[in-house]
Structures are given as structure tokens and as C-alpha cells.
A and B are shown apart, each in its own frame.
Chain A
Amino acid sequence: MPMLGAAQNSVTITLDGDPPVFRVQGSSILPRLTSPNLINIFKVSVDKDDVPQMTGDYSMQGATLVFSPAYRLEPGVSYRAVFHLAGEHGSGVFTPPKPKPVPTTVVERVYPTASELPENQLKFYIHFSAPMSRGDASQRIHLREESGAEVKLPFLELDEELWDRDYRRLTVLFDPGRVKRGLLPNEEVGPALIQGKRYSLVIDAAWPDAVGVPLKQGFQKNFRATAADRTALDPKTWRITPPIAGTAAPLIVDLNEPVDAALLLRFIDVVDRKGKLIKGVVTIEREETRWVFSPAEAWTAGEFRLEILTTLEDLAGNKIGHLFDVDNFQKVDPALKTEIYSLPFKVK
């Protein structure tokens, strides 16, 4: 059913079609003009005062004037269409219907999953069940003490917001200035987390998803802050449980400490003696302390190795052989390269 505007005199304005277009019918003057200035004759805008006309294309289809908006109309927003030509007038306000919002989106999980986090914890990954909207994150995420008191500005507020391409995962960084030793914020207001205290990461239910509908429910992750982690990642302490040749059993690597969940999926490869990549699927278990690799094909006996990027990070951003904040800045490597740490294992 086309929406009908309140018509005056003989001019009728309708909004119909897919995508919807505005049509003016019944003008007896317009078809007789050779080059009418349509943008001044028929004005379509958001139904507010003192705003510019909407961008779009005008055309004549027979005796009907058609305005095609350059951008799709927004459900729930009212549009005003006004026709004025000599003695002919017409106007209408059109509101494309907005479906009743039914909240369905939820927070699926938050990494790290552990309930104890070092006081120099660097980031959270928040996974949602559906795409979210950008621009609200800093207002919708809170860090609360056990008493319910809000920790002030614990996170790095970035208007860019660190989403993935689908806006289903948000990366929240603790304010690095408060985490790093030797910086003014760290010395003046101290770290956001204090060892021994209990905290909750709280996500508001009112946070709108990508279609503007709030979350189905809020989310809370409770944790206790432990001592700061100021040791580099050391794969030498990892324990590899090699699979048996001829089986497609998973390769299990116990990591000795929780490691960044996102980087664990990308930064470790399995290669054979000649460096050929072994294909397979990685899963992360036991609160990000276990890396499990399920090969696409059965293992053959022989020598293999894990190739690990040294830029892998633990929960506090410490890398392999490199702390988040290093204490010997004179020793900056002259050449920029991403190094690979090799950890050999045998399949028998």
C-alpha cells in the first residue's frame, strides 16, 4: 500500500516502491514546462526545521514527478515532501514504518575467560552474537569495584573503537598510560586494577546493536586482580603432548600461563622438518592456557616444530623475550623484523 500524503488542490504526493520513491501526480502545469527547476518546486527533507533538502534525483515519468532519494529512507524517521508550483500545492509527511524492536543480541563471551587477571591486564575481547553499532562503547562498558563503585576511566577511549569487520568483537584496551611504569598517569592515578581487589566488567543492556535495538540482557564478568605480570612469555616452559603417528589426534600444548586469545589463533603454526605448513584447526582451552591443534590429515612420524611469532602477547602484553615495558631502552634492535621462535617436537 502506498503511503498517501495530505493533498491540497489537485496534487497528490505518494511514497512507494522498493526502494521507495516520492511521486507527485495531478499537476496540470508541470508537464507543460520545458525545463522546470524541480529542486525548487518539490522539496523533500527530514521533517525538521532548518535542515537542508535530501540529496536525490528528480525525473519526470510521463506526467508524474519522481524524486528518488540518494540514500535509503530510515524506518521511523519522518520525511516532509512539499510541492509548490504557481497555484498548485501539495504536501505530506511520511514515516516509513519501523518494526517493533525485539532484542536478540547478547554478549556471547569475554576474553580472557579466567577469573583471576594480573593488575596490569592489557585488554578484553568482547564477543557479541550479532553486529553492533559504533560510537557508544565508552559509555556502555564499565569497570566496577566490589562495592559497586565505578573505576574512573580505566580504559583507553578511542572514538575509532577497535571492532572487527563485522562489529561482532570489540577490543577494549586498558589505558596503557596507567599500565606502564614510569608514565605520568601510572604515577599520578595509579593502575586501574589493584592486586587483591575484586572487580566486575559490566556491559549495559541498553547498548544498541547494528539495527539500533538494545541487547537482550546486560553482561557481567567478575574477576580478582592478582600480582602484576612482569615476565616475558617463555615457550621453553610450555609442555607439548605430541600425537601418535598414523592418527589425526590433536597436538596439545600447555602454555604455563594464559595467553592472548586472539593472537593464539593466528601466531602459532605447525611445520614439518622442511618448513612445510601443516594444515589444521586451532582451538583454545582451559582459560587460554592450552593450545590445541587438530590436523586436517593424520600425522606422519618425524620431526616437527611450532613456529611462534615473538610478538605473541600474554594477558599483560608481554611478548616472547620482551616485556610490555622494557627496562633497558638503549638496546633497541636496529632492524625491524618479526622474529619466529621455534619449538621442536617429534611424532612417533
Chain B
Amino acid sequence: MYPTRVLSVFLLAALTLSAEPAAKMSASLQPGKAALKSAGPLAFGPEGILFVGDFMGASIFALDTADTKAAKPASLDLAGIDQKIAALIGTTADQILINDMAVNSISRRAYFSVSRGRGPDGTPVIVRTAGAGNLEILSLDNIRHSSVGLPNSPAMDAKDRRGTSLRLEAITDIGYAEGNVIVAGLSNEEFSSNLRSIPFPFKEASAGASVEIFHSQHGRFETNSPVRTFTTYDIQKQPHLLAAYTCTPLVKVPLSDLQPGKKIKGVTIAELGNRNRPLDMIVYKKGGAEFILMNNSSRGVMKLPAAKLESYEAITAQTEKKGIPYETIESLKGVEQLDRFDDANALMLIRSEGGSVDLKTVALP
């Protein structure tokens, strides 16, 4: 499943102080049909604005959910949510894919990006929770929205003049931080890191910038591997991107480094073991300490201490393999989607051994 991300509470606080006047953000959205070709990764921005990665359309949509009424439900649980979502759109669970889940931190409602049909002509649907045990469709027919095409990678700009390309980029994660939508992508052809930072509100003239992040391994090998999932987190009061790569290391990069046309060297702060692909990451606080919670491709949920990440310098020698210590939460299995629900709980999509998918509120470990 697509990874989900949530800004840390600390960064959100910073955003509130530095953000533009509230009206300005949603004022950039125009009513009409939001013509998504697919609905992939989700992330909430300010004012209940939902960002949707449209991988088939190679674009990012900003949708005004108008879901801005604050609510503090104690929990959000829905057994067999895959069957319920499927029934709502008149089909069965085996005919849909739940691509991502994101929680609106204002209303504490969960949003799901869904493909109705598994083929290339699958219909994109956004479904959200609606009161106790109910679901509803967020209509895309007439919704205030805007969109931006993903800027081409340098390789795309420079070449591809024969018009026969099968190239398409999967969007592995999106997030919103400090007025920018950050998009991690992975091409189905060239193997490289492709991280884009797109200013929001979207401007036609500026589709943002592509940056490459290199990370070094044990002081020897440099790669520009694609980013799998990321979150943002303050390290010594500087917002940082914490990015997990397709090849497992956890890397930190200052957000201020994400500048157009820049090659960036990220610092590897943890290696999370083999056969372990991080899906989602959230940051939370418990008992005065800060932690990162990460679910992995059906290989458990990991908890890492987030405090003093600055003290974990680059892993530079073979003897310092692991970097940040982590523990695996044994009680959590089959977690396919993870997002922060509130200060004390996470919301998870958990696939049971019987195969059905349940939405569960789980106390943060």
C-alpha cells in the first residue's frame, strides 16, 4: 500500500505560526470536476486540503474537502472496511485496491484513495469515514480543487522525442511541509532518486523542482536510490526530511536543502535490517519522549526513538551498522496503512489472517 505521512506535531505548530493567512490557501482552489485518472498517495495540508497523487495522470491534485469542523472522537474502528468500501461503490473487495489512507487532523476522519477495478481503466474514488461506522464518497464531480503536472525529470526533458515511451512514474509518497508538496517518485525505467518539492498554492509557471538525494553507505558507496516513504521532523529546531529508501536505510536531509537543481547528500542514520520495506512513518510523543513508528511490508511495526536524531551522525564504518536502535512491536501484524489519529493513538489498516481488512485505532506504543 502507499505510505502515509503526517507532519510531526512540532512541525505543525511551526506551520501555524509561519503559514500565510488561512483564506489564501483554499482561495487558489476552483470549483469543478477534479479529473483524476487515479488516486494514489494521500496527504493533508492546511485547512482540510487533501493532496492526492495521481500516478496515471502524472499530477498532484489539491482537493478542498470542506472537512474543517474540529472533532475529537475517541476512536475510529471499522471491521471489514475493504468489503464496506467495495459495497459502497457497488462491487466486491477483490475488485478494489485501497491505495492509501490519511487522517484529517482537524476532523479526525480517515480518507482512503481507492481504485475501483484493478486494470488500467480502474476508476479513482476517494472514500472517507462519516460518523460512527459509516463511509461516504467524496464527490469529485464538483469540488474546489487545483492540480499540477509533475515536472519532468531531467531525463524526460532532454529526450523522449519519439513519443513511444512506456515510461511512467510511480508516486511512492507525498507530504506537505512549509508551503511545499513533497513528492517521491520511482520510474519504471531509469533507477534513480526523484524527489520533488512543489510550492503550494500551485502556480502554473512553477511546477517545482526535482532534486536528487545521494546517501552514503559505510563511507564507501554512494547511491541515488529512490525514496520509499518519508516524514518530516524537527532536528535541533530545523525541519528535516526523514526518508526511508527502497534499499532500507533511513536518511535525514534538512528541508531547506530541497532547492531546485541541487544535488543533496543525505545522512544515513539507521539501517533497518534486510527484507524490510518501510511503508509508512509517523512521529509522536509519549511520556515526554519522541518516537518514530514505522510499519513495514507485512514484517512488523518498528518503534525508534526520535529524540536527538542529530546525535546519530552518519553511519560511516562497518562497525556502526545499525545507527538508531529500534524495537519491533510484536503485537502488531499485517499493518498495511498507518497514520496518526491523535496524540495517543494511531489509525491502522490491518489485514487479518483471514484476509479481511480492518480499520483499527491502536494506542501508540
Q: Which residues of A contact B (CB under 8 A)?
A: 45-46, 48, 50-56, 69-74, 77, 79, 122-123, 131-135, 152-153, 156-167, 169, 171, 173, 175-178, 180-185, 188-189, 208-212, 260, 262-263, 265-267, 269, 277, 281-282, 309, 311, 313, 317, 324-329, 332-338, 340
Contact A176 B84 (CB under 8 A): no
Q: What B residues does A122 contact at CB under 8 A?
A: 191
Query: Does B137 belong to the interface (CB within 8 Å)?
Result: yes
Most buried by B among A73, A338, A340: A338
In angstroms, Cα B292 to Cα A278, docked, is 53
Chain A residues, Cβ within 8 Å of B154: 336-338
Whether B80 pairs with A336 at a CB distance below 8 angstroms is no
Minimum CB–CB distance for B253 against chain A, Å: 13
CA distance A208 to B171 in the complex (A): 24
Known: A159-B2, A173-B191. A340 touches B222 (CB 8 A): no
How far apart are the CA atoms of A183 and B216 in the complex, in Å?
Answer: 10
Contact of A54 among B87, B121, B166, B261 (CB under 8 A): B87
The 7 closest A-B pairs by CB, nearest first: A210-B119, A329-B222, A51-B87, A185-B274, A177-B247, A133-B118, A338-B154
Count B-side interface residues using an 8 Å CB cutoff. 82
CB < 8 Å neighbour of B191 from A135, A313, A329: A313
Task: Enumerate chain A residues within 8 angstroms of B167, measured Cβ to Cβ.
Answer: 164, 262, 266
Q: Check B64 for interface membership: any CB of A closer than 8 A.
A: no
CB pair B88–A55 under 8 Å, yes or no, is: yes
Whether the Cβ atoms of A180 and B217 lie closer than 8 Å is yes
* Inter-chain contacts of B180 with A (CB < 8 A): none
Select B171's contact among A160, A165, A324, A329, beta carbons within 8 Å: A160
In the bound complex, CA of A53 to CA of B89 (Å): 9
User: Given A70-B89, A183-B249, do A169 and B166 touch, yes or no (CB 8 Å)?
Assistant: yes
Which single member of B97, B165, B187 contacts A134 (CB below 8 Å)?
B97
Whether A336 contacts B262 by the Cβ 8 Å rule is: yes
Q: For residue B189, which residues in chain A have a CB less than 8 angstroms away from its CB?
A: 171, 260, 262-263, 266
Most buried by B among A153, A212, A336: A336
Q: Which residues of B contact A169 (CB under 8 A)?
A: 166, 188
Residues of B within 8 A of A163 (CB): 120, 168, 188
Contact of A48 among B87, B158, B161 (CB under 8 A): B87
Which B residues have a C-beta under 8 Å from some C-beta of A?
Answer: 1-2, 40, 55-56, 80, 83-84, 86-92, 95, 97, 99, 115-116, 118-123, 134-135, 137, 154-155, 157-162, 164-168, 170-172, 186-192, 210-212, 214, 216-223, 225, 246-249, 261-263, 265, 271-275, 277, 279, 297, 321
Interface of A is mostly: loop
Would you mind naming 12 contact pairs between A and B with Cβ atoms under 8 Å apart?
Answer: A46-B91, A48-B87, A51-B84, A53-B87, A70-B90, A71-B90, A161-B170, A185-B248, A260-B189, A266-B160, A309-B155, A336-B154
- Given the interface pairs A46-B92, A74-B91, A182-B220, the reply to whether A131 lies near B120 with Cβ below 8 Å is yes
Q: Check A45–B192 contact: CB distance below 8 A.
A: no
A312: nearest chain-B partner, CB-CB: B190
Shortest beta-carbon distance, B186 to chain A, in Å?
Answer: 7
Cβ of A171: which chain B residues have Cβ within 8 Å of it?
Answer: 188-189
| Residues A265 and B87 in contact, CB atoms below 8 Å apart | no
